[in-house]
């Protein structure tokens, strides 16, 4: 079996490794360190949690042991997709560089530019940065990359997901062509392969695990739930999450709970706190100081549950995580591999739960296609209030039967001939009333077609000429106003258009 002493590392580095408690390199470390020490480009492909960070940190410290840093011109550059991952690389550098005189600088967002500029001005051997902040310093004229001897790209597939590939290509073009490049990724998407073909020169490819596989030390469990209403899915999943935590008891020492959206992270963390659980959120909208405090608290055990967005899914080396919960099924299948990789690290056992609803079907299919296996189904420990487990199972079995019987009953109603509507019984009183109304109509003369006589019009004309009722009824309401005291048209009420009244006025004058 290979040991670190067989890898030609600097004696000071070996002493630091021993002090950290490590004796045997992981497969990716054993494969990547020797060609890196020879000055060759390296393309490392390994799943998360296999020790990729030490695969480039250890040879960098050994190679940079000779030489001196110059102001604003770092000798090496490490690119990481997130602040947390960049900070973790810096911690690893501090651990393994004890006893050496190498200097480092960390360029990430959420930290003052002035402090970072002061470090760069003094000269650094190792510059660890996120792509955005590095370009900001470069465009401000505070940084030159022409002295870079070694360039490292860590978690390249995450860079692709976060849209950093154009920035990575630009940074590559800022560095010398003669640089040595160490390129690490958990998966190899076509875009990643294009970049490696363009910027790496005859790299040594180390692939210690089949691409897109999950660790054998992780027990994966899929918990399915069908909510009664779609808008109740999130609330039901919070109930299921707490039920699983209670069921697993002491086995669930701590856990990372992943959500797809930052708002959901806050809601889940608040819900857990409300029910007495020690939980804190972490996502990209929080201040960097708060994110650092939360991660430190989770590492030292003062925080039991870390509710996170995918900002914490990749590269973070948080030891002894017993459980991972996918509160939301990740929309990108690759994120599933990285999320559950936070547990079961360094040969330890871990458990990963995934909570799903029927709307997650296409995402589950993509995940199972990626990992080349079907996720084992687990029991849902939570039952909606008022429904027993037996009743719930029986309801699911009877649902198709009820639907088909309902359809058959409806079709019978449509096909059946319509029954004759029963006629109401005619009463004697109704017959007498009908006869009396017909008699009245026969006695009443029909005056609809008779010409209007002067006698019939006289009372209404006299009333209209008086002006009192006419002005009150039409003054300010119709178009005619007070100027017209002519006869009102029966049936139109007080709102008689002026043009109609004028036409009657002309006919009355002619008569």
Greater confidence (429 vs 378) lies with 378
Residue for token digits 């069921």?
247
Query: Mean pLDDT lowest for which of 48-52, 69-73, 93-97, 113-117?
Result: 48-52
**pLDDT per position as a tens digit, 25-82:** 989 999 999 999 999 999 998 876 678 899 999 999 999 988 888 889 999 999 999 8
**Which two tokens mark 124?**
């650094």
Greater confidence (253 vs 287) lies with 253
Mean pLDDT of 130-154: 94
Greater confidence (504 vs 233) lies with 233
Percent of the chain with pLDDT over 70: 73
Instruction: Please give the pLDDT value at position 150.
Output: 97
Instruction: Please give the pLDDT value at position 327.
Output: 97
Q: How far apart are CA 96 and CA 4, in angstroms?
A: 13
**Residues 270-297 as b or e (16 or more Cβ within 10 Å = b):** ebbeeeebebbbbbeebeeeebbbbbee
Q: Quick check: 201 pLDDT over 80?
A: yes
CB-CB contact of 151 with 181 (8 Å): yes
Mean pLDDT of 322-338: 91
Q: Quick check: 385 pLDDT over 70?
A: yes
Q: Quick check: 250 pLDDT over 80?
A: yes
Q: Quick check: 413 pLDDT over 70?
A: no
- Three-state DSSP state, 426: coil
**Topology given in CATH for the domain delimited by 4-207:** Rossmann fold (3.40.50)
**Topology given in CATH for the domain delimited by 218-387:** Rossmann fold (3.40.50)
Q: Quick check: 12 pLDDT over 60?
A: yes
Greater confidence (346 vs 329) lies with 329
Instruction: Please give the pLDDT value at position 305.
Output: 97
Per DSSP, the residues of 452-493 read: PPHHHHHHHHHHHHH-HHHHHHHTTTSSSTTS--SPPPTTST
Beta bridge partners of 256: 306, 324
Tell me if 4-207 shares its fold with 218-387: yes
Query: Mean pLDDT lowest for which of 150-159, 292-301, 357-366, 489-498?
Result: 489-498
Q: Quick check: 285 pLDDT over 90?
A: no
Instruction: Please give the pLDDT value at position 2.
Output: 78
Share the mean pLDDT of the chain. 80
**Residue boundaries of the structural domains of the chain:** 4-207, 218-387, 465-510
Q: Quick check: 457 pLDDT over 70?
A: no
pLDDT class for 453, splitting at 50, 70, 90? very low
Q: Quick check: 448 pLDDT over 60?
A: no
């Amino acid at each position: 079996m290979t040991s670190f002493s067989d890898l030609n590392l600097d004696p000071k580095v070996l002493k630091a490794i021993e002090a950290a408690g490590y004796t045997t390199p992981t497969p990716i470390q054993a494969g990547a360190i020797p060609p890196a020490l020879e000055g060759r480009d390296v393309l490392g492909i390994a799943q998360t949690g296999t020790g990729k960070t030490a695969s480039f940190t250890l040879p960098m410290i050994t190679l940079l042991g000779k030489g001196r840093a110059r102001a604003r011109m770092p000798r090496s550059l490490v690119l990481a997709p997130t602040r947390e991952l960049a900070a973790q690389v810096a911690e690893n550098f501090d651990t393994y560089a004890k006893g050496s005189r190498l200097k480092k600088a960390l360029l990430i967002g959420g930290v003052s530019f002035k402090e970072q500029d002061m470090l760069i001005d003094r000269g650094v051997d190792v510059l660890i940065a996120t792509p955005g902040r590095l370009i900001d310093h470069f465009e401000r004229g505070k940084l030159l990359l022409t002295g870079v001897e070694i360039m490292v790209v860590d978690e390249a597939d995450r860079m692709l997901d976060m849209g950093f590939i154009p920035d990575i290509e630009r940074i590559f073009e800022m560095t010398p062509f003669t640089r040595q490049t160490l390129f690490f990724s958990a998966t190899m998407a076509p875009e990643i392969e294009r970049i490696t073909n363009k910027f790496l020169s005859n790299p040594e490819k180390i692939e210690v695990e089949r691409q897109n596989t999950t660790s054998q030390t992780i027990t994966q469990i899929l918990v399915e739930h069908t909510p009664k209403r779609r808008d109740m899915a999130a609330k039901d999943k919070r109930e299921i999450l707490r039920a699983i935590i209670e069921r697993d008891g002491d086995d669930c020492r701590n856990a990372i709970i992943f959500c797809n959206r930052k708002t959901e992270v806050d809601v889940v963390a608040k819900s857990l706190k409300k029910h007495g659980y020690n939980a804190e959120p972490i996502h990209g909208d929080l201040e960097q100081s708060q994110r650092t405090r939360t991660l430190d608290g989770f590492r030292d055990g003062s925080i039991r549950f870390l509710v996170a967005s995918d900002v914490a899914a990749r590269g973070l080396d948080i030891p002894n995580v017993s459980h991972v919960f996918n509160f939301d099924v990740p929309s990108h299948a690759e994120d599933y591999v990285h999320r559950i990789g936070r547990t079961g690290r360094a040969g330890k056992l871990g458990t990963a739960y995934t909570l799903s609803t029927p709307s997650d079907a296409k995402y589950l299919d993509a995940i199972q296609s990626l990992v080349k296996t079907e996720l084992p189904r687990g029991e849902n420990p939570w039952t909606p209030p008022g429904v027993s487990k037996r009743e719930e199972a029986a309801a699911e079995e009877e649902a198709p039967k009820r639907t088909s019987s309902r359809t058959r009953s409806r079709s019978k109603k449509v096909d059946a001939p319509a029954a004759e509507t029963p006629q109401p019984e005619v009463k004697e009183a109704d017959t007498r009333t009908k006869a009396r109304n017909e008699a009245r109509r026969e006695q009443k003369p029909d005056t609809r077609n008779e010409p209007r006589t002067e006698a019939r019009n006289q009372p209404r004309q006299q009333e209209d000429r008086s002006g009192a009722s006419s002005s009150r009824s039409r003054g300010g309401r119709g178009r005619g106003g007070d100027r017209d005291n002519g006869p009102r048209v029966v049936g139109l009420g007080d709102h008689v258009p002026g043009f109609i009244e004028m036409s009657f006025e002309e006919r009355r004058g002619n008569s």
